[in-house]
Amino acid sequence: MDWYLGNYWYLFLLLLLPLLASFLIRFLKWKNKKKEIFADSQFHEGLFEKRSGFTRFFPALYLLGALFLIFSIIDLLNGSEEVKSNQRLNNVIFMLDVSNSMNAEDISPNRLTEAKNLMINTMHKMKNDKVGIVIFAGEAVSIMPLTTDYNSAETYVNAIETNSMQIQGTDFLKGMQVVVDKFKNVSKGSRKVVLLSDGEDNEGNDNAAIKLANKEGIMITSVGIGSDEGAPVPEYQFGQLMGYKADVNGETVISKRQTEALNKMAASTGGTYIDGNNINEAPDRITDALNKKLSSSETMVRSQNANHYYQYFLAVSIFFFFLIYIFNPKRDFNV
């Protein structure tokens, strides 16, 4: 339990105590002076009601009552405690392939747009899961940290293009390395990756990516996008179609979906391979795959101002004023 000073600006109320003490002293002097004016001191016992010895403590009781009343207003002590709560949720990073082959139009309008729509539709089916986004080609970068702000995530997704990566290619290991870095504060049991790609592995690092994922406790749900027949890869410059990718012989390259690496990465990490060409079914299948091994994530929550103790100070203040009321027979300011 940590303790904090409450409404500290109300500490200025303590300045009223010297004023109250000064007022009580001046009042007592004024009262005694009036008695002296009214009659000599030898006649006071017969003229004035004899006070009990307890009434001598009334000034102190007034001051103590006021002091504890101020403490209750300040909320002098309030507690902050850490509460552990177990929540069943996923921490999901969407790892999106943005290599040029994702511009292929064998899936309408193209593979990348299909992948982005899958990501958005899948997020719409999530509730409390945290999501992040990593894009990769020949290099990789995180464009959004883990968050439950799905509206912001959708904005990030819509802005993704294949020209987001300067170094082209398809390096699954580079993407997984960035994912691992984003998962460093997440328990291994709740690390999930949704890999969206056409599966063309130009670097041959799928086995290294699998090894790293298993070491870090990451489950991969892979989503294959593109047709087995394939399609030419458009090449754009400043948003204008300049032609189609060709090989060294000048022949147009036909990019086909390669599922071998995607299947292997999913199976080797306890995940599932999903055909991403059906926009209506794939989001449900992705969420089902993620929820099959839903883990408990223990979260430490600091409950600020969870406990207040002003009522105890108020009770003490009332007690002092109650004593004054009980032992003051005239029920007036008899000090």
d(CA 32, CA 72): 34
pLDDT at 116: 97
Specify the 3-state DSSP secondary structure of 49: coil
pLDDT band at 71 (very low <50, low <70, confident <90, very high): confident
CATH number of the domain within which 211 lies: 3.40.50.410
pLDDT for the residue numbered 232: 93
Q: What 3-state DSSP class applies to 51?
A: coil
Residues 229, 114 share a domain = yes
In this structure, the answer to whether residues 196 and 261 fall within a common structural domain is yes
How far apart (Å, rounded) are the C-alpha atoms in residues 245 and 255? Answer: 10
Inside any domain, residue 333: no
156 shares its domain with 272: yes
89: tokens are: 């949720």
Same domain assignment for residues 94 and 76: no
| Count of CA atoms in the C-beta half-sphere (13 A) of 207 | 1
Kindly state whether residue 169 falls inside one of the protein's structural domains. Answer: yes
* Structure tokens, 40: 């000599």
The sign one gets for the Cα dihedral 284, 118, 137, 274 is positive
Which range, of 27-31, 32-36, 59-63, 186-190, averages the lowest pLDDT? 32-36
Is 335 part of any domain?
no
CA 300 to chain centre: 11
Chain segment 255-293, per-residue pLDDT in tens = 999 999 999 999 999 999 999 999 999 999 999 999 887
Please tell me the least confidently modeled range out of 15-24, 212-221, 242-251: 15-24
* Residue 306: burial class (beta carbons within 10 Å; 0-12, 13-18, 19+): middle
Tokens of 119: 């990501």
Residues 74 and 153 in one domain: no
Strand order of the β-sheet with 140-147 is: 140-147, 130-136, 91-97, 191-197, 218-224, 273-275
Structure tokens at 244: 């189609």
Query: Are 105 and 218 in the same domain?
Result: yes
Q: Quick check: is 251 in a domain?
A: yes
195: nearest Cα among 122, 94, 123: 94
Same domain flag for 71 and 98: no
Same structural domain, 63 and 183: no
Query: In this predicted model, what pLDDT tens digit does every residue of 194-214 receive, in sequence order?
Result: 999 999 877 788 999 999 999
- Domain shared by 161 and 182, yes or no: yes
- Residue 106 confidence (pLDDT) above 90: yes
pLDDT at residue 172, as a whole number: 94
- Cα–Cα distance for residue pair 153/129, rounded to 1 Å: 12
Question: Could you tell me if 127 and 267 lie in one domain?
Answer: yes
First-residue to last-residue Cα distance in the chain: 43
pLDDT at 3: 45
Mean pLDDT of 64-82: 68
Domain boundaries, position 119: 90-293
pLDDT value for 1: 45
d(CA 212, CA 191): 13
Q: Rounded to an integer, what distance in angstroms lies between the CA atom of residue 177 and that of residue 180? A: 5
Query: What does the pLDDT average to over 75-87?
Result: 56
> What's the structural domain count of the chain?
2
Residue 244 lies in a domain: yes
Q: Is the pLDDT of residue 72 over 60?
A: yes
Does any domain span residue 49?
yes
Instruction: Tell whether 25 and 115 lie within a shared domain.
Output: no
Please name the residue that has the structure tokens 């839903």.
Answer: 294
Residue 299 lies in a domain: no
pTM of the model: 0.63
149-160: average pLDDT: 93
Among residues 96, 163, 89, which one has the least CA distance to residue 127? 89
The answer as to whether 59 is a domain residue is yes
Q: 156 and 31: one domain?
A: no
Span 181-187, average pLDDT: 91
